[in-house]
Amino acid sequence: MSRVHVAGLTKSYGNRTILDGIDFDVEPGEFVSVIGPSGSGKSTIFNMVAGLDSPDGGVVEASRSAYMPQKDLLFPWRSVLDNTTLGLEVQGVPKKEARTRAQELFDVFGLAGYENARPSEMSGGMRQRAALLRTVVQGHDLLLLDEPFGALDSLTRTDMQQWLQDVWLRYRWTVLMITHDIREAVYLSDRVVVLSDKPAHVRRQVAVPLPRPREPMVVTTPEFAAVESELIDVLVSARRSRTQSGR
């Protein structure tokens, strides 16, 4: 299975240093979230892991990945089934085979019966499920999820978090996810990587020692609160350091 290794990663754009020595690993089958201040370079790291950008220094080792951006990017003129086959079609998979492979996942992703629907006929949560199906049907073990539920309302987001955990437990992909939602990071992750403000480095990596599967009410437990509190403390201390330094 896929593993991600990032060591000494640096990146600058012009005179602005974005990443200043990023180090972390994601083990095969592990779910790791990356959090940090807005603009701290999370998407820059993702672009390098995905092979869309190159570092100025350091090492990025990762197998081929499937990248799911913040927006579902479903084409409104295509059916849901034909939207989910796009990645396979780009890879040169014949359309009939691509449709068969995608359709096999529709029941697992809670989309059975919507194969011929248009995206406009679906809820936000269902559109995100379709977008994730389009991502995973490509057959890569490594998934890069960039704020996958950021545009959803609170209740739908909670439902989607539980659903994603259930599907991940079934397939055990290696997952690296960006999120601004600390509670989401704790609920879904085995470990959370906390970045500093830019120029970014890893301030702390926090393990989430909560048993799986995790029910939604786990967020009310002292064990959950302890991890959440530690992450908040790291982020708040980073903000104080930035303020005191006059940045």
Nearest-angstrom CA–CA distance, 136 and 150: 19
Taking all residues of the chain, what is their mean pLDDT, rounded to a whole number? 90
Q: How many residues does the chain have?
A: 247
pLDDT of residue 244: 54
Higher-confidence position of 117 and 63: 117
pLDDT of residue 241: 58
Superfamily for the 4-244 domain: P-loop containing nucleotide triphosphate hydrolases (3.40.50.300)
pLDDT of residue 128: 87
pLDDT of residue 71: 78
pLDDT of residue 227: 97
Averaged pLDDT for residues 157-172: 90
Q: Using an 8 Å Cβ cutoff, are 50 and 65 in contact? A: yes
Higher-confidence position of 152 and 202: 202
Averaged pLDDT for residues 116-124: 92
pLDDT of residue 240: 61
pLDDT at 203 over 70: yes
pLDDT of residue 238: 62
Q: Which residue has the tokens 């006929």?
A: 121
pLDDT of residue 247: 55
pLDDT band (50, 70, 90) for residue 198:
confident
Of the chain, the end-to-end C-alpha distance in Å amounts to 42
Q: Using an 8 Å Cβ cutoff, are 81 and 105 in contact? A: no
pLDDT of residue 246: 53
Averaged pLDDT for residues 17-35: 95
- The answer to whether the pTM exceeds 0.75 is yes
Rounded to 5°, the CA angle 242-244-247 comes to 45
pLDDT of residue 145: 93
Smallest CA-to-CA distance from 42 within 241, 188, 196 is with 196
pLDDT at 220 over 70: yes
In 10 A of CB 210, how many CB atoms? Answer: 16
Averaged pLDDT for residues 185-190: 97
pLDDT at 66 over 80: yes
Nearest-angstrom CA–CA distance, 15 and 13: 6
Averaged pLDDT for residues 197-216: 94
pLDDT band (50, 70, 90) for residue 70:
confident
pLDDT of residue 119: 93
CA dihedral 118, 120, 122, 125 (to 10 degrees): 120
The domain ranges of the chain are: 4-244
